[in-house]
Homo-oligomer: A and B are copies of this chain.
C-alpha cells in the first residue's frame, strides 16, 4: 500500500487490493475522513509530478484507451488527461491545453462510468487534480459537453421526495452548516442568491443591495402593503423591504438557524413589528398579500411541486397583487447535476421555464417580465469563491481539506455553468391576468432617479 500516492479512505483498500473488486464500490457512499495534505490543491500541484513519479502501478492498455472514449463523451474539449503513471490523452488541439490528472484506478473507472458525478467527486476526494484555474477548466469542458435533453417532467429522483419532512432535512443539510461559515464568504448581509451588478465593477455588497432594490421595484411595493416571502434565507430581503419600502412582511423558511438569525437581526434593527419570520414550509403559507416574492427557493421546491406553489400564490395574492419568482433555471427540462445534489443541495432541481409555467398557467397569471441574470450569478459565484479562498485559514478551523475541495468545486463549477449556459437565472414577474395597472414600461427599473421609490431613512 505504501506505493500508492494517496490514501484518503479505507474504501481505497478494497478497490486496489483486487481489480476484480472494482464493482464493489459502485454505488458505495463515501464519507469524508480527514484531509490529505493540509495545503490547498492549487498549491500542491508542484509536488504532484513527484508524487505521480513514485507510482509503480502501471496503467493498463484498456485504461489508456478509456481516455479517448472519455474525451469523446465530453465532446473533445481542449484538455489533457494524465494518468497516475504519466500516460495521457489530448482533446482538441489548443495553445492552452488544460490538464487534469487522475491519480488512481478507481477515479478513472468511476469517471468513465459517470463523468458528471465522478469528476467533481474525484476532485473532492483528492483523486483528481486540476492544474491552474478551476473555473476556466470547467468552462472548457462545459462548452463542449451538453447533457441530454429530458423531454417531459418525469425526473428520475422526483419520487425521493420533497415532502414536508424531507424538505426540512434537505434545507437543514445545507443551510444549517452554521452561520459562522457563511459569514466568511457571503456579503455582510448574508444574501445567498444571485446578486445584481449594475456594472461588473460593483462590489458584492452593493450588488446584493441592488438586487434587493431591483426586486422591490419590479414588485412595485408601496408603503403599508403586505408582502409574503417564501424562502427568506437570513432575512436580508424581508428586512430591506420593510426598511426601505415601508411594507409589512411575513417571511417563511424551514431553516431553524436562518430564522433565528433573521429574527435577531430584525429585532436589533427595530423592525420586529413590521417583519414576521415563520419557521415553516411554503406549503403552509396562509394569509393574503399585495405582493408575493420568492428568491432562490424554487430550486428546492422541485418541478413536481410548481403547480402546488401556484395554488399557494393564487390563494394568497390579492386581485391587484404582483408576484416575483427568482430562481436558478435551465434552458430545457434536464436532470440537475447529481453530484451537486448529493453533496451540496439534497433535493434540489432547477426548473426549466417550461416547468415554471406550471406555477402560472393553471391560475391564469400573466407573465409580465422574465429577466435572465445568468452572467450576474457567474460573477456572484466568483466573488464568493474569491472570498472563500481568502478565508481558508478560518475555514480550516471548521472543516477538513476534503470539505474545502468540495466547496471549491461547487462554487467553481457553478460559476462555469452560468458562464457557459448550463444554468440560467430567471427573475419572473407575474400578475393576475385581469390586472390592468402595471407600469407602462420597465424604465422605472433603471432610471437612477427612480431610486426615490425607496423611503428616506428613518
Binding site for B on A (CB under 8 A): 143, 146, 149, 196-200, 331-333, 352-354, 357, 360-362, 364-372, 374-375, 419-422, 424, 426, 432-436, 438, 440-443, 445-447
Contact = CB atoms under 8 A, between A and B. Distances in A.
B360 A357 contact: no
A438 B331 contact: no
A22 B396 CA distance: 86
27 contacts: A143-B434, A146-B364, A149-B364, A197-B440, A198-B443, A199-B440, A331-B365, A333-B361, A352-B361, A353-B357, A354-B354, A354-B361, A366-B374, A366-B421, A367-B372, A367-B424, A369-B371, A369-B372, A370-B370, A375-B438, A420-B433, A420-B436, A421-B434, A422-B433, A442-B442, A442-B445, A442-B446
Given A370-B370, A441-B198, A446-B442, A436 B375 contact: yes
A378 B346 CA distance: 46
Contacts of A364: 146, 149, 331-332, 421
A149 B372 contact: no
Given A331-B367, A364-B421, A366-B424, 17 more contacts: A146-B433, A149-B361, A200-B440, A331-B364, A331-B366, A332-B362, A333-B361, A353-B357, A353-B367, A367-B370, A367-B424, A368-B372, A369-B370, A370-B370, A420-B433, A420-B434, A442-B445
B375 A361 contact: no
Report the 6 A-B pairs with minimum CB-CB distance, sorted nearest first.
Answer: A421-B433, A370-B370, A332-B361, A443-B446, A368-B372, A446-B446
Contacts of A199: 440
Contact of A366 (B372, B435, B441): B372
A35 B195 CA distance: 63
B421 A435 contact: yes
A455 to B, nearest CB: 23
Q: How many copies does the complex hold?
A: 2
A369 B146 CA distance: 23
Contact of A446 (B362, B375, B447): B447
Contacts of A441: 196, 198, 446
Contacts of A432: 421
A335 B419 CA distance: 39
Contacts of A375: 436, 438, 440
Q: Which among A149, A331, A420, A435 has the highest number of chain B CB atoms within 10 Å?
A: A331
Contact of A149 (B197, B353, B362, B435): B362
Nearest to A443: B446
A331 B438 CA distance: 16
A149 B433 CA distance: 13
Nearest to A356: B353
A76 to B, nearest CB: 15
